[in-house]
Amino acid sequence: MSEKIKTVRGFRDLIGEEARKYRFVVEKIRNILEKNNFEEIILPTVEYTKLFTRSIGDATDIVEKEMFTFQDKGGRDIALRPEGTAGVVRAYIENKLYADGTYKKLYYEGSMFRHERPQKGRYREFHQVGAEVLGTINPLADAEIIKIADDILKTLQIEATIEINSLGCKKCRPKYREALINYLRQHREELCEDCQRRLEKNPLRILDCKVETCKVIAQKAPKITDYLCDECKTHYRQVKEYLKALNVEFVENPYLVRGLDYYSKTVFECVSKELGKTVIAGGRYDYLVEELGGPPTPALGFAAGVERLMLLVKELPPKKPLVFIIPFGGEKEKIEALKIAEKLRQEGIRTELSYREGKLKKQFEYAAKIGADFAVVVGENELQSGKFPLKNLHTREQKILTLEEIIQTLKNLS
């Protein structure tokens, strides 16, 4: 026998119910975003590697360890996108979406790639639905973005805690950075190897380290909220007021820093206790557009991890009832059954035509096996009388009805 080829480690097939759950989650989020007047943007899956090193930051785990990078045939450095924000910003600048002076509300959906150690809720190819607002500094936008995350959780009936923080701006963050480095230097020897290296280059990352000894040190570190300038303080206060006005529950976590470097001011994460992971996350990135060569443009957004949300969705809405059409006889009956199946579908009824030959008993068994709710036999007698047995495969009850009556009965159930 030939060797069987498996999926690549960290990559998955989504089959049957899993695929249905995927669509369910994505559709719910899309509906919420469309209601909020976000427009879809469909982005390429690959970008030049430097887009990500320059935006996410070269001292982050994503860029240091997790990017799928390669050279194309022209020797250019390319990466499978690890996230969507950088691509949206690149598209915003490249297509001059700022030119008409309106702010832009864009959303995207698709695969992201990170070479992480696979585990439950962590894959090397995963999917995000993300939304970005470009061109406003108004804290109303921060509150609305967090409210959308809250709406997604409520709509999917998922419990998660919304944690928020402010990471300050170019004015106030350097002072905090200095205070943080001073504190961390006193504990240099106790930090993990990665964090010792991060100490001078990217000390905020240390607050996000998952190593136990680093976590203990981080718990006593100075808090960024004590160092915010007046502008950032006011912005943060307004965001919290608006969230309260919207009845969005949140907790403040002064050590929340996020895993990407482009953030400023508001950041947030929706953390699921059940999963022990963040399911939706985002924040402001007021300098990123400018850093990538565009005009100064404050912006913010979030991304929802589809697989993580899928793990927490308990129930899917039932499918429409399925009717199984069984041709019984010869060519004539097959052609009539073919036409009847088509008619039912045109009426919006989920219909499958039997491709099986053989005894009715076997046909009914097959119908039950594929989860059909009803079966209709199309035989010579039925065609002559214009009446067909509609068999309920759950109750075994059978009614003799005209095609019109069958359609009405099934439509009333859908």
CB of 187 to ligand HAM, least distance (A): 26
CB of 334 to ligand HAM, least distance (A): 47
Between 205 and 308, name the residue whose CB sits nearer to ligand HAM: 308
Provide the binding-site residues for ligand HAM, judged by CB under 6 A.
83-85, 114, 116, 121-123, 126, 128, 130, 132, 259-260, 278-283, 301-303, 305, 307-308
CA distance 337 to 383: 10
Between 30 and 399, name the residue whose CB sits nearer to ligand HAM: 30
CB of 304 to ligand HAM, least distance (A): 6
Q: How many residues comprise the chain?
A: 414
CB of 114 to ligand HAM, least distance (A): 5
CA distance 135 to 97: 10
CA distance 54 to 73: 23
Between 243 and 337, name the residue whose CB sits nearer to ligand HAM: 243
Residue type, 98: Y
Residue type, 351: T
CB of 194 to ligand HAM, least distance (A): 18
Q: Token pair for residue 173?
A: 């963050």
Between 119 and 384, name the residue whose CB sits nearer to ligand HAM: 119
Q: Which residues contact 410 (CB under 8 A, 6 or more apart)?
A: 321, 323, 344, 347, 349, 374
CA distance 48 to 264: 24
Between 139 and 301, name the residue whose CB sits nearer to ligand HAM: 301
CB of 230 to ligand HAM, least distance (A): 25
Between 117 and 369, name the residue whose CB sits nearer to ligand HAM: 117
Query: Which residue number places its CB atom closest to ligand HAM?
Result: 305
CB of 186 to ligand HAM, least distance (A): 30
CB of 237 to ligand HAM, least distance (A): 21
Between 129 and 214, name the residue whose CB sits nearer to ligand HAM: 129
Between 303 and 377, name the residue whose CB sits nearer to ligand HAM: 303
CB of 112 to ligand HAM, least distance (A): 7
Between 38 and 328, name the residue whose CB sits nearer to ligand HAM: 38
Between 14 and 179, name the residue whose CB sits nearer to ligand HAM: 14
350 phi and psi angles, rounded to 5 deg: -75, 115
Between 148 and 337, name the residue whose CB sits nearer to ligand HAM: 148
CB of 367 to ligand HAM, least distance (A): 38
Q: Token pair for residue 190?
A: 């106790």
CB of 88 to ligand HAM, least distance (A): 8
